[in-house]
Structure 1
């Protein structure tokens, strides 16, 4: 533990010389009873897998969806179905993420089959070994969370797999946020599905938000839940709701967990909140105006964020600023955008810049005296935090999930006297 504290300047200072990428990871295990409303999607994918596909290349089925619609969950359901196991005696699951490196992928495939690591071997040796393992075998390969849009890198992997026997006996599933990735890898049209029905979405909400049977005890809370689900418009909530700590921290930051006043019941307070969705606004590249009363902003789209739109200068009561990741990759945010946002939105309680290529957080972030929640998770290019962070005396949550192990934290971090949640998950693990 002491050595981990040294690495991240939690009281001591030590430079990390070797830079390496920290990768997201997924797995193929799933409990089918926990998944709601995806049976039809599962059956459609299985049908594509078990039927012959007339193609000159190894058959690849891309599953394309925006974040939150359960691409990985759908792939897990298919992967674990008994019919798939009977057709494909050998199944391989790889989480690819943003580092599409041929040698690493071959090593991971070999490890999945043999349980033995072979890191450090040249690609030629790896493909020879893999050819021996796959010779004459029918297999299903799932490449989950693929971000790579380099056609050449994909061709290298595809061509290598095609040399290993009858490729028509093999199938590949690729999950991705990016339609461009799907067009590069797919041998058939990408599989897209709509969001959940209102009924299924509400069932999912009840499953994760209530203890069994409590939805009948609290009809007012169910009414609130129904309003929330309508606003979600079919987007699967499981990826967010299951992370209870995250939800609690988020709500604490924007004041949803403060004590009710004037003897109001909690469910009535919640219902009042659910009626104020007009305070929320998602900014797209084509958005040209915003009402003065907006308090919660999110930025969506694939375009780089270079400067806030001019009409945003009129919003002085903004409390929440969230940058949504672009399709299949981290979002490009220029320093000027962050600087202007911090200077304009002085009452921010929540600032989420995660999944971005932001390199520098300005020193005057310390002027945000109301800030309770700061998320810089997966900002891989950020090497240090500003010294002024100790001035964020209202900060309750600092999330640095899955970032480069070279990131240096200020030595005065202990000055954040109200800090309750410091998330360094997958940094310490990566070291």
Structure 2
């Protein structure tokens, strides 16, 4: 089934939600569209009732697929029409809220005569109603049955590991030991040896490689370790950037290929290194030889571990026979299934389900991803019918082999609520191995109208809930919950599934592309294709585009022509990503893009100023100006962006103008001249996350904290003058509901701020890193009864956790490194502070796992 057609139900739902909202009920009366919109709503409700049935039946009925596609076009156009009413309402709201400055504001928002707007919109509504009536009339011939989407997102159990623990990988101990033996063997006569692990998708090649990569023997044997996920493309420059980032933690995408090669050689020179090339697909031997030659500067005994699904690649790259990874034994598979399908020990209470589960596991043929996916699908389900549905599903008529593992993932996909399906397939716009963070992804989902919630205040929470659900269904990996955001990747097989489902709606373009369907609504570019005249010509047909994304770091438009084309041709864009661009001027016509929800101008190295017309974008929810190092000031009317929720900025200003109080997330980075935030902060009544990074002139935050009572998370990084413990007269005014705090690179931090203790009942995550003058924790540390993760890195003067006897009851994860005295006090059994942390399930001291 083409997922683009499964989106139809969601679009219909969104249109109905908008029609039914109180604000829109008022708008349709004001603009005289009540009659036609009422008839449109009635027809839409009737059609929506049979859409889920139509989505299933269209697999076997091409005529039904065509009908579905026609509906989708009508619904998208209906969204645009309804949004125009909303845009006008927002414009009027801004004009009315300004009071004495109304004349000035009216000029700024000059628009057509209200009577002209009313007449124009009446014609558009009549046209859209007539089109829907015409298409809807054909539904009778398909004999469709009404159905409701009664599947809800259920948050899975918490699994927040960013690493692979040996206890989580079942049945791979012998495989790990054999590969480690190969890596330790000095007798193969090769200056650089290559070990290839080959097997079908879903067998756990990457998980096995991670076990090897983190094995104590490997860590001690090699001077340098490097992990690179290669995936579909084998672009040398991108691989060099990844290698250097893995080795040095620095992103050097600003360098050209020759400079990167020199830098890599310098880092490898004379060192015995271990390199993992994960998920290799390209069979071009010439490209492999080119890369291998760059690695010859390492010391003898250096090793490379390759994982691939292709035996041809394994033979081509390996210097020894490939290691063929086999499926798990049945008992191992069953243990893995139980781990994912039941809470620990609860399986004994459901022997009837275990019997069915045993039959399901046999059908998985030892493929761990299939086992985990179906186990997670059945987690918390105690009705036999759900288990029998999986056991007797038609997908088992296929043999589990390379392509058919997708059938197992599709079964899990099919059981998702329809709105979660759309969010999942949207991920197909990103390349394999893309590192997602919630601050980037959730605004995209939000801008595209994919988050389902009657309460706009909860949209960020809904987005995080969707991510957790996708993770619990095994679609995501390398998942980290940092409290204020999540980081993760999409599993490569899940990415294959998303691509196959979304191919007619979402498209990744490159310079080689010859044609772009006018039915494509969302696209991303992975190279300099925006400079290709043929690509730009193909894009002209897609006037209904909703999304243009740049998804590869360092790749962005360098000329104003691409921006001009976007602004003039794609009037209905919701998302415009111009990150990593290098044009000097953003056209003032940007103000006409009234449907725009997300605008990303981050990492533009040349732009000095933004046109004030950008402040006409009343629908804008996310604006990213981070990394715009030459930006001299923000537009003076930025307060008119009354729907702005997420704002990231780099600027040369000493103080920032007042921004709209709709903000939920504010990120200030590399604002070296910034001295005060008081002026802009006094209006924020909804801010939930504040991040301040590398703002060297900032001295204090205390004057503003009293205004930010809704804050839930904050990250303060690399601010060398910032003092967080300056006394205030009344600290009771401070936020009391922090869930996560990160303090990184703060030399002025000598003691923990007392205002943290007001969040004793809510604080779950506390991370302190590179605070060289921090000497002690306060007594009230033990009062943090909700703290579940405590991380302390590179704080050498920190001498103790607390003198109190009581511990931290909720603590699950405790990590310290480069804190000599504290490490000594936290030694198992004998350390003075061991009693405070001994109950945690995840303890690391100087990188070594204790338990």
Structure 1 residue 67 corresponds to structure 2 residue 201: yes
Cα distance in structure 1, aligned partners of 2:269 and 2:216: 23
Partner of 2:383: 266
The 1:182/1:429 distance shift into structure 2, 3 A limit, reads farther
- Correspondence for 1:108 among 232, 242, 246: 242
| Partners of 2:277 and 2:340 in 1: CA distance | 28
The answer on whether the counterparts of 2:336 and 2:371 sit within 8 Å (CA) in structure 1 is no
1:212 and 2:328 aligned:
no
Q: Distance in 1 between matches of 2:579 and 2:335?
A: 35
CA deviation string 1:332-385 (max 9, x = no partner): xxxxxxxxxxxxxxxxxxxx9837689964xxxxxxxxxxxxx97989979568
- After the TM superposition, which residues 246-395 of structure 1 pair with which residues of structure 2 at under 5 Å, given as runs? 247=377, 266-267=383-384, 269-270=385-386, 272-273=388-389, 276=392, 280-282=396-398, 354=497, 361=504, 386=519
Q: 1:185 aligns with which of 317, 325, 344?
A: 317
1:81 equivalent in alignment to 2:215: yes
> Kindly tell me: are residues 240 and 130 of structure 1, through their superposed partners in 2, closer, same or farther at Cα, counting changes over 3 Å?
same
SS, match of residue 63 in structure 1: strand
**Deviation at 1:276?**
2.7
SS of match in other structure, 1:144: strand
Residue 202 of structure 2 contacts residue 367 of structure 2 at CA under 8 Å; is this kept in 1?
yes
What is the match of residue 290 of structure 2? 156
Give runs of aligned pairs for residues 217-232 of structure 1, distance below 5 A.
217-232=349-364
Query: Which structure is richer in relative contact order (CA contacts within 8 A, separation 6 or more)?
Result: 1
Q: Deviations over 1:184-215 (max 9, x none)?
A: 11111110122111111000000011111110
Q: Which has the larger radius of gyration?
A: 2
- SS in structure 2 at match of 1:84: helix
1:33 aligned partner: 167
Compute the displacement of 1:123 (Å): 2.5
- The corresponding residue for 1:175 is 307
Structure 1 counterpart of 2:262? 128
TM-aligned CA deviation for residue 28 of structure 1 = 8.0
Residue of structure 2 aligned with 1:119, choices 253, 258, 265: 253
Moved more, 88-97 or 122-131: 122-131
Q: Shift of the alpha carbon at 1:273?
A: 3.1
Structure 1 residues 429 and 203, CA gap change in structure 2 (3 angstroms)? farther
Shift of 1:429: 11
1:201 alignment partner in structure 2: 333
Partner Cα separation in structure 2 for residue 233 and residue 284 of structure 1: 7
Does the Cα contact within 8 Å between 1:28 and 1:93 map onto a contact in 2? no
User: Is the 1:283–1:300 contact (alpha carbons within 8 Å) kept by the matching residues of 2?
Assistant: yes
State how many pairs are aligned. Answer: 292
Aligned equivalents of 1:54, 1:224: Cα separation in 2: 49
Q: Contact 2:270–2:298 at 8 Å: present in 1 too?
A: yes
More helix by share: 2
| Aligned-partner Cα distance in 2 for 1:278–1:228 | 13
The 8 Å contact of residues 347 and 354 in structure 2, kept in 1 or not, is answered as yes
Q: Structure 2 length normalisation: TM-score?
A: 0.30
* Structure 1: distance between partners of 2:400 and 2:166: 36
SS at match of 1:354: helix
Alignment deviations for residues 45-85 of structure 1 (CA, whole Å, 9 cap, x no partner): 00000012424452000111101100000000001010110
1:91 counterpart = 2:225: yes
Distance 1:428 1:215 in 2: 51
SS of 1:119's equivalent in the other structure is coil
How has the CA–CA distance of structure 1 residues 378 and 37 changed in structure 2, closer, same or farther, with 3 Å as cutoff? Answer: farther
Distance 2:391 2:264 in 1: 58
- DSSP 3-state at the match of 2:397: strand
Unaligned 5+ runs, structure 1:
1-8, 14-26, 252-256, 258-264, 286-297, 302-328, 330-351, 362-374, 390-399, 414-426
**2:225 match: secondary structure:** strand
Q: SS at 2:283's partner residue? A: coil
Q: 1:237 to 1:126 in 2, by over 3 A?
A: closer
Distance 2:187 2:374 in 1: 37
Residues 53 and 59, structure 1, Cα contact 8 Å, conserved in 2: no
TM-score, with structure 1 as normaliser = 0.57
